[in-house]
Amino acid sequence: MSIYQEGIQKGVLFEDGYLSPWTFKNLVKLGIGLKEYDWTETFIADYAPKLPPHMQQDALHFNLADLYYALQDYPRAQIHLRQVEFSDVQYSFGAKLTLTKIYYETGQEEALYSLLSSFKIFLQRKKLITKEVRMPYLNFIRFVHKLSKVRLVELDTLQAEIQETEMLTARSWLLQQLAKER
């Protein structure tokens, strides 16, 4: 983390005077992963204005949603996700992923199944999305469906299937949810 912080302070991570939205997102993810929530919230507030103007709002709200999800403040996470306009496909996919997790963890089955269905249709219809991008999300959707309907006797089989699937996003989250079912 200190390498990133030093890079920001020295301006090395800035391009044409702006911080890259992906560097910004990586630092937020790193802060969340290290459970440095106060630092992460301050970083988001301080550095969102230093992003390219056309990406500031989406990056701000998307990353605040990520932070509040990590803090299990699901209502605030959802408020920020609703404010993301999806200027980039990665924000759209990330938001759907976070919403799926929220709906699953809070037992909102109807919203969960509706989101999974619409996300799957979206992924299947958009032919410009490469297989390398599409498949991890389609596999995630498939496993969330299975996880939501799993019986105790099927847990080991499902765990093995999740672990063996090569192209899969949010594998660790799926395994955590499976462990909670035991």
Torsion angle of C-alpha atoms 29, 73, 51, 45, degrees rounded to 10? -110
Would you say residue 95 lies in a domain? Answer: no
Tell me, yes or no, whether 34 lies in a domain: yes
The answer to whether residue 71 is domain-embedded is yes
CB distance 143 to 71 below 8 Å = no
pLDDT of amino acid 1 = 64
**Would you state the structure tokens that stand for residue 1, as one six-digit string?**
């983390």
Task: Give the DSSP H or E segment for 127.
Answer: none
What is the pLDDT at residue 137? Answer: 97
My answer on whether 125 and 173 are in the same domain is yes
From CA 57, how far away is CA 49, in angstroms rounded? 9
Mean pLDDT by 10 residues, the chain (182 residues): 76 87 92 96 96 93 97 97 83 93 96 97 91 96 92 85 96 95 81
Position 66 scores a pLDDT of 97
Full domain range(s) for residue 117: 109-182
